[in-house]
């Protein structure tokens, strides 16, 4: 890999044309421009331009108190809002020197896995639209509706949940939640298996995805990607196993890997991960201890001691990290967001080189990027 793989180095020759994809296109998860220099149908050079929805969140956070930042972490990426809440709260908890209660830890794992489920469902749904399989999108959104209703029942909101709190969570489980969850999850599990079987056995789908956009394990770690695109190459890198946070140590789950590293493998990893997530949620519902779900007092103004923390989490898309520096005041001195989609987006242009224009949508969607989080 060289850095010339990520840029358009020269104007197109007479045999080549420059094709701009974006910033607005129905196939995109958000606004960005992908410039392609193509010769015939083959991509010679590719460059990604981002920043169309740059919100300056890192600057905004320097001017908000710790509690005010909490709902804003949802907005980094609405599909990963629970994970973002959790990673932020764990960072601040470490600065404050407090621990969440046992029940809160289980509740956070439960919502994080529900969050992973709905993110993967929508991610696969968008991906299938991009490869021209619109029916599957409708199915995926139907299954996702059940998961979102489970999240809504706990957190009270459907998208930006704002659920974790310093030392606990906002709400306890509503009455009868376990029965409702087991019923919905059972249905979703059955449907996921059937969709997976349907897609894997479809010859047109397989021809569009197998051997396309191949990333080897060595290339993937060189490009710095994490999450499903990396695990699809066979690297067992999952922070839930590597650096067990919350109660992942007490739960039984497999780290899903595939070896091919192509578009098909990346989608397959997401399918299998969803089944693991359901398994984790079932264990959480069984093992959840009783007791308080939050600390007695959640202070409105928190002033952590001067210090710094780097907390990270296995987000639905990969490794989400937050680097918080406290100077002893009620606002962070510096807040750095290290998003997983930023890393996968950077790796997109080299993946496209030498491929066909018709495969661009499939490859880009299989990386499951989130422009909102890339731009922050």
The single residue among 56, 132, 156, 299 that binds another protein, judged by CB under 8 A, is: 56
The single residue among 16, 35, 94, 330 that binds another protein, judged by CB under 8 A, is: 94
The single residue among 312, 326, 348, 361 that binds another protein, judged by CB under 8 A, is: 312
Closest to another protein by CB, 189 or 241: 241
The single residue among 13, 20, 54, 190 that binds another protein, judged by CB under 8 A, is: 54
Residue 98 in contact with another protein, rule: CB under 8 A: no
Q: Residues 161, 191: contact at Cβ < 8 Å?
A: no
The single residue among 27, 325, 353, 357 that binds another protein, judged by CB under 8 A, is: 325
**CA 163 to each of CA 104, 159, 309, 330, 357: distance values in angstroms, whole numbers, following the listed order:** 10, 11, 21, 21, 42
Closest to another protein by CB, 56 or 132: 56
Residues 217-256 that bind another protein (CB under 8 A): 221-224, 226, 230, 235-237, 239, 241-243
Residue 305 in contact with another protein, rule: CB under 8 A: no
**Among 261, 281, 262, which residue's Cα sits nearest to residue 273?**
281
Residues 329-368 that bind another protein (CB under 8 A): 333-334, 336, 338, 342-343, 346-347
The one segment of 30-38, 140-148, 181-189, 321-329 that binds another protein by CB under 8 A: 321-329
- Cis peptide bond prior to 186, omega within 30° of 0: no
Residue 198 backbone dihedrals phi, psi, to 5 degrees = -65, -45
Residue 59 in contact with another protein, rule: CB under 8 A: yes
Binding pattern to another protein, positions 24-53, x when CB under 8 A?
--------------------------xx--
**Among 265, 285, 125, which residue's Cα sits nearest to residue 192?**
125
Residues that bind another protein (CB under 8 A): 1-4, 6-7, 50-51, 54, 56, 58-59, 94, 221-224, 226, 230, 235-237, 239, 241-243, 308, 310, 312, 319, 321, 323, 325, 333-334, 336, 338, 342-343, 346-347, 375-376
């Amino acid at each position: 890999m060289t850095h010339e793989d990520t840029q358009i180095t020269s104007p197109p020759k007479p045999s080549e044309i420059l094709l701009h994809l974006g910033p607005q296109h129905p196939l995109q998860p958000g606004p960005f421009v992908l410039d392609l220099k193509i010769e015939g149908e083959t991509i010679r050079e590719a460059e990604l331009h981002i920043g169309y929805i740059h919100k300056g969140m890192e600057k905004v956070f320097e001017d908000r108190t710790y509690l005010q930042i909490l709902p804003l972490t949802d907005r980094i990426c609405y599909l990963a809002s629970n994970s973002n809440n959790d990673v932020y709260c764990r960072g601040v908890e470490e600065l404050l020197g407090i621990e969440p209660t046992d029940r809160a830890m289980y509740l956070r794992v439960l919502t994080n896995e529900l969050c992973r489920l709905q993110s993967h469902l929508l991610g696969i749904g968008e991906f299938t639209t991009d490869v021209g399989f619109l029916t599957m999108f409708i199915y995926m959104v139907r299954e996702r509706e059940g998961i979102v209703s489970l999240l809504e029942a706990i957190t009270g909101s459907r998208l930006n949940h704002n659920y974790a709190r310093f030392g606990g969570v906002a709400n306890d489980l509503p009455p009868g939640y376990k029965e409702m969850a087991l019923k919905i999850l059972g249905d979703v599990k059955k449907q996921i298996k059937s969709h997976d079987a349907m897609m894997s056995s479809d010859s047109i789908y397989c021809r569009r995805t197998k051997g396309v956009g191949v990333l080897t394990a060595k290339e993937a770690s060189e490009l710095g990607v994490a999450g499903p695109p990396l695990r699809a190459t066979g690297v067992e890198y999952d922070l839930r196993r590597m650096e067990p946070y919350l109660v992942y140590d007490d739960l039984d789950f497999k780290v899903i890997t595939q070896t091919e590293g192509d578009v098909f493998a990346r989608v397959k990893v997401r399918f299998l991960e969803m089944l693991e997530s359901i398994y984790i949620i079932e264990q959480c519902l069984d093992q959840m201890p009783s007791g308080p779900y939050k600390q007695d007092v959640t202070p409105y103004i928190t002033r952590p001691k001067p210090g710094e923390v780097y907390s990270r989490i296995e987000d639905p898309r990969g490794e989400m990290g937050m680097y918080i520096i406290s100077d002893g005041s009620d606002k962070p001195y510096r807040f750095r967001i290290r998003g997983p989609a930023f890393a996968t987006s950077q790796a997109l242009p080299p993946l496209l080189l030498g491929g066909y224009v018709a495969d661009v949508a499939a490859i880009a969607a299989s990386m499951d990027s989130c422009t909102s989080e890339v731009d922050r």
